[in-house]
Amino acid sequence: MKVLVADKISAKGVACLRQQAGLTVVEAYGSTPAQLLELVKDVHAIAVRSESKITAEVLAAAPLLKVVGRAGVGVDNVDVEAATERGVIVMNTPTGNTIATAELTFTHILAGARPLAQAAASMRAGQWDRKNLSGGELFRKTLGIVGLGRIGSEVAKRAQAFGMRVLAYDPYLAPSRAKAMQVEAVALDELLAQADYITVHMPLTDATQYLIDEAALAKCKRGVRLFNCARGGIIKESALIAALKSGQVAGAGLDVFETEPLAKDSELRTLPNVVLTPHLGASTAEAQDAVGLEIAEQICDVLAGGIIRNAVNMPSIDAAGLKILGPYLDLGEKLGTLVQQVAPPQVASLRITYWGKMIDLDVTAVTRSIQRGWLRRISGDSVNFVNAPLMLQRLGVKLDVVKSTDDTDYTELIAVEAVAGDGSVHSARGTLLGKTARPRLVELNGREVEAEAHGKLLIIENHDEPGMIGYVGTLLGKDKVNIANMSLSRQRPGETALMVINLDSEPSAAARKELKSHPAIKLAKFAQL
């Protein structure tokens, strides 16, 4: 078998591949897209970092390809959907750069407190400017951490060692977890108002893009300092530049940017109160050794027919097991994603129940698929079938799994229930339909429905009164949104009714706002499966 190392990984990783019996290793760093198409024609595995783009075209040109290994966290440079369609495993190394990124973040925080970069530049220029290079102390200052995952947690430990008060905003973090870490869990507005220093550690998603914008910066203390070593786009650069000029933000440290590499004429390069680094979060010898060796070992395991670790598009099971469980994995992930979108941000527990044929199967992989579905919109690229249980545990969400022998109307049935702190339950049930085992939604929040568990869903709860179906259909029509299917449910006439509508496209923000403003509509929620 042949392995293409398309981007430079650590020498230890390459050596690991070369030591594996039966593997031929080809190192081809800096290949053009055209060269890559030629190189992949007879390879069984590809190892990349962030430079090479494994597109659908590349995947189509590699008929023998079994696995793509990304030495790092993100898989933005790999077309995961195309790989999945071709049965190609995509793996990453989600933990290898944790300490490196946390330490770089804290380096930026220290450089924000004491103007080390500016002082070093002035010394090189022959100056001795002690008066204008005074800084501040971190001791007894307040650090606000936006996102308390793996890296945010490590930053919190370092801040506490410096005697800082630590506030954390993470809408999915259970209070018990925050208490155990000795941090104060607060709302975002409270964090913005109280923090002297703010650092962000969230994936870039629709919900987190421009989370720190003009309005957020206006809520901060005057003279706050901001840091981003996570993903460009969480902090709105134009808003940050304006705030740095006005003095609302006293200083910033950035390792990531909305567009990379940062444009040569970017105004950020001209501001004296900003420290910029070129995406160095994982750029330590230790981190590169760790992720290079880790991805090499994972590739060797897959090619040898062994275990699958850190796969972002399939569970850690063998091919025979996957053939049986594959449809259930898809159904489970969709149910997990759906319930996460209809439930409140903070939940105390997830309860998963299996009925029918499923009680005789090992449903571990299905359970992990549900967990991954739940976390997909929360944790971004770093969540997979291996680390989903740990990430759920870190959020303080308890998991209950039950196999029930009670009678149902279905030969196989899965229920996912999210129990909030106030005891309210938000749930969905699904099954497989027909010879093609299509995932179907059969119950939502205790009401029977019949909808395809796929694509774009509009969920509406309304007071049961005449004209509501026509109103919703007309509004969507005006918005140029086509209805693929509509399922209606109610328990008693005149009370609360439920619509679950499969759509061909996403309604506009204006249409959704109009729906929510209707006096009879209690809930209008768009969900993407």
Active site residues: 231, 260, 279
Please state, in angstroms and rounded to a whole number, the distance separating the CA atoms of residues 432 and 413.
Answer: 8
Instruction: Work out the burial of residue 305: count CB atoms within 10 Å of its CB; fewer than 13 is exposed, 13-18 middle, 19 or more buried.
Output: exposed
Please state, in angstroms and rounded to a whole number, the distance separating the CA atoms of residues 177 and 396.
Answer: 5
DSSP 377-406: HHHGGG--TTTHHHHHHHTT-EEEEEE--S
DSSP alpha helices (H): ranges in 195-257? 214-218, 237-246
Residue 416 pairs with which residues in a beta bridge? 352, 428
SS (H, E, C) 467-479: CHHHHHHHHHHHC
CB 153 within 8 A of CB 160: no
Sorted by sequence, the CB contacts under 8 Å of residue 526 that are 6+ apart come out as 456, 457, 458, 459, 506, 507, 512
The closest of 2, 4, 13 to 37, measured between CA atoms, is 4
Instruction: Work out the burial of residue 320: count CB atoms within 10 Å of its CB; fewer than 13 is exposed, 13-18 middle, 19 or more buried.
Output: exposed
CB 426 within 8 A of CB 418: yes
For 518, other C-beta atoms within 10 Å of its C-beta total 16
The closest of 389, 353, 349 to 369, measured between CA atoms, is 389
CA–CA distance from 466 to each of 470, 471, 472, 494 (Å)? 9, 10, 12, 9
Please state whether beta strands 398-403 and 412-419 pair in parallel, antiparallel, or not at all (unpaired).
unpaired
The length of the chain is 529
DSSP 3-45: EEE-S---HHHHHHHHHSTT-EEEE-TT--HHHHHHHGGG-SE
CB 40 within 8 A of CB 4: yes
